[in-house]
Amino acid sequence: MMFDPQLRAKSVDLQSAVTQLTGTLLARETAMGLRKRARKDVDRKNFQAAVEALACNLILLKATGTDAKLAVPRSHAFLWQGKANLRPVYGQHFLTAIHLMASLGLIAEERRGYRISAKSRMPSLIGPTDGLGQHLPLAPPEWRGIQQIDDPRLVILKEGKAAGGHAAAIAFRETAQSRKFANQVRYINKFLHEADIEITGRNTGLSLGKDGHIIAPYRRSLRRIFNNGTWQHGGRLAGGFWMSMERAERGRIRIDGEHIANVDYRQLFPRLAYVRAREAQPQGDIYNVAGDGTGRDGWKKLMNALLFTNGQLRNWPEDTRQHFPAGTKLREAIELLEAMHEPIKHLFGAGLGFQLMRIESDMLIEVITYLAQAGITALPLHDAVLVAKSKADVAAKEMQAIFTRDTGSPCAIVSTTFW
C-alpha cells in the first residue's frame, strides 16, 4: 500500500488518539536523548502531521485485512522536495516519527528501501504491530474516522520520464496560467467533496487498487499533472479512488444513490490527430484495421504508440504483440496502419501524443465544470466521465458540444455504457 501524506483524522476520537500518540512519541524522543531542545510551534505541528498521516495510513492498511505492508518514502531528496512543495508531513520529522514508533514496538520495519538504478528500486516497508492497537482503533480498524485533505499541489509539472519510467515533479514559477489551472481543480474538488458518492458490495474491510492506493469513497481529492516540463503536454486529472479500480469493479460505485454510466469519447486521440491534420474523419471504427474487428486492442495500442513516439517505433509496445497473428512483423503492421490512415501518417512518430492529451484534459475539465455548475456529479477518467445513469444523456450532449466548440469539428463519437 502506497503512503498517502494527505490523510488526517476526521473523528474526534481519532484526533484525540493521535494527540496522545504524538505525546507518547515526544516523550520517547526525550527519554532517548535524541533532542536537546523543544521544537518550535511550527515544527511540532509538522511532527504531529507526520504522526497523524502515519497513523491513518496504518489504520487503513489494517482495514484491508491483508498481509500488505505500507510503502513509505525515506529518500532525503524526495522528503525535502515534498517539504519545498508545501507538504508538512515530509522532512526529518517524518523519519523521526517512524524511528520512534519502531523503537516503541508500535510498527515493524519490514524492509529498508534501496535504489540501484532508475529501473531497480524498492520502497521501504513498515507494518503495524499488536502494540499499536493500544494507541489506535485497530480492532476493528475504524477507517471511517479518516479523511483526505486536498494536496496543496493541485497542479504538478513533471519532467520527462527517465529510463525506468519515473518522472519527478519539478519546481515552477507560479503564473496566471498555473493559478487558473489550480483554481479549476480546486472548484472541482470542492464539488466532489460534497457529492453523494458511495461504493457498494463490500460489507467489511477495504481493498487496494491496482496502483497500491486504498479504494475508499473519501478519496476524491484530484490534482492535475502536466508532463515533460511543459504546460502544453498532458494535464490529466489524477488521485480519485475510481481511477484505482479495475474496470469491472467500477459498477459498485453509486452517485446520488444511482447506478452509474460511463460516457466516453471513442477513438479520441486518432480523431484529434485528424483534426490537427485538417483532414476529414474516416467512417467507422478507426481501430478496425483488419476489417473484421479482430486484433482491435492491438491496433489501438499500436496506433496510439505511434502518436506518442518521437521517431521510428523500433519495438512492439507493451502488451501489443499477442493481439496479432503469429509471425506478424512490426514494420508490416505499421505499414497497414499507414495505408489505412494515410492522411495522418505524417503524424506517426512526431511525438504528438502528449499534446493530444492536453487537448483531451482541457475538454474533460470543461465537461466536469459544466456538469458541476448544473449540479451533476462527474468523475473523470481520462477521456470519459462516470455519472449517475439518469444524467448520462446530459453528459453525452455536453461532451459532444465541447468537442465541436474546441476543435471546430462535429466528428466526436460519444458512447455510453451502463452498469
Tell me the per-residue pLDDT of 137-184, one tens digit each, with 9 for 90 and over.
Answer: 999 999 989 999 988 889 999 998 754 456 788 889 999 999 999 999
> What pLDDT does 187 receive?
97
Q: Side chain identity at 322, as an amino acid letter?
A: Q
Query: What is the pTM (predicted TM-score) of this model?
Result: 0.88
> What pLDDT does 59 receive?
96
> What pLDDT does 35 receive?
87
Averaged pLDDT, 366-385: 97
Residues 257 and 196: beta-carbon distance below 8 Å: yes
Query: Which domains, and CATH codes, for the chain?
Result: 7-135 (1.10.10), 148-268+354-418 (no CATH)
CA distance 416 to 290: 25
Residue of 88 and 113 predicted with greater confidence: 88
Please work out, in degrees rounded to the nearest 5, the angle formed at the alpha carbon of residue 349 by the alpha carbons of 405 and 355: 30
pLDDT confidence bin for 210, thresholds 50/70/90 = confident
Mean residue pLDDT across the chain: 92
- The β-bridge partners of 148 are 7
Query: Is the pLDDT reported for residue 85 higher than 60?
Result: no
CA distance 285 to 305: 18
Averaged pLDDT, 82-89: 62
Which of 38-52, 195-209, 291-305 has the lowest average pLDDT?
195-209
Query: Is the pLDDT reported for residue 202 higher than 70?
Result: no
> What pLDDT does 84 receive?
44
> What pLDDT does 119 receive?
52
pLDDT confidence bin for 115, thresholds 50/70/90 = low
pLDDT confidence bin for 203, thresholds 50/70/90 = low
Residue of 351 and 160 predicted with greater confidence: 351
Averaged pLDDT, 99-105: 97
Distance of CA 272 to the CA centre of its chain: 24
Averaged pLDDT, 220-225: 94
Query: Is the pLDDT reported for residue 83 higher than 60?
Result: no
Which of 24-28, 91-95, 204-208, 325-329 has the lowest average pLDDT?
204-208
Averaged pLDDT, 396-418: 90
Residue of 119 and 182 predicted with greater confidence: 182
Averaged pLDDT, 48-59: 97
